[in-house]
Amino acid sequence: MARLGVNIDHVATIRQARGGNEPDPVAAAAIAELAGADGITIHLREDRRHIQDRDLRLIRETVKTRLNLEMAATEEMIGIALSVKPDMCTLVPEKRQELTTEGGLDVRVNLQQVTSAVERLQDGGLIVSLFIDPDPDQVKAANKVGADYVEFHTGTFADAPDWKREEEELLRIGNAVKLAAKLGIGVNAGHGLNYANIKKVAALGGIEEFNIGHSIISRAVLVGLDRAVRDMVDLIKYA
Residues with a known catalytic role: 43, 70, 191
Degrees (nearest 5) of the Cα angle 7, 13, 16? 145
Least CB distance to ligand PXP at residue 221 (A) = 14
85, 133 contact by CB (below 8 A): no
- Quick one: which H or E segment has residue 26? helix 25-34
Beta bridge pairs of residue 88: 68
Per CB under 6 A, contacts with ligand PXP among 159-188 are none
The 91-110 contact track toward ligand PXP, x by CB under 6 A, reads: -x-------xx---------
Q: Is residue 3 part of the contact set for ligand PXP (CB under 6 A)? A: no
Stretch that binds ligand PXP, among 109-117, 138-146, 173-181, 190-198 (CB under 6 A): 190-198
* Residues 197-226 as x/- pattern, contact with ligand PXP by CB under 6 A: --------------xxxxx-----------
Task: For the chain, list the strands marked E by DSSP.
Answer: 3-7, 39-43, 67-71, 88-91, 128-132, 149-153, 186-190, 209-212
Least Å distance, CB 164 to ligand PXP, is: 23
How near is the Cβ of 234 to ligand PXP at its closest, in Å? 33
CB of 216 to ligand PXP, least distance (A): 7
Position among 40, 107, 131, 134 found at the interface with ligand PXP (CB under 6 A): 131
Task: Give whichever of 97 and 239 is closer to ligand PXP, judged by the CB atom.
Answer: 97
Q: Which of 107, 193, 201, 207 binds ligand PXP (CB under 6 A)?
A: 193
- Answer whether the bond into residue 23 is a cis peptide, omega within 30°: yes
> Rounded distance, CA 212 to CA 29, Å?
13
Q: Which is nearer to ligand PXP, 17 or 236 (CB)?
A: 17
# residues contacting ligand PXP (CB under 6 A): 19
Amino acid at 231: D
Residue 113 to residue 192: CA distance in whole angstroms: 27
Span of 71-79, 172-180, 189-197, 200-208 interacting with ligand PXP by CB under 6 A: 189-197
> Exactly one of 94, 151, 169, 209 binds ligand PXP (CB under 6 A); which one?
151
CB atoms within 10 A of CB 140: 14
Residue selected from 43, 45, 50, 66 as contacting ligand PXP according to rule CB under 6 A: 43
Q: What's the gap between Cα 131 and its chain centre?
A: 9
User: How many Å apart are CA 190 and CA 74, to the nearest integer?
Assistant: 22
Strand partners, 71: 91
Which residues have a Cβ under 8 Å from the Cβ of 122 and sit 6 or more positions away?
128, 146, 148
Binding site for ligand PXP (CB under 6 A): 7, 9, 43, 70, 90, 92, 100-101, 131, 151, 190-193, 211-215
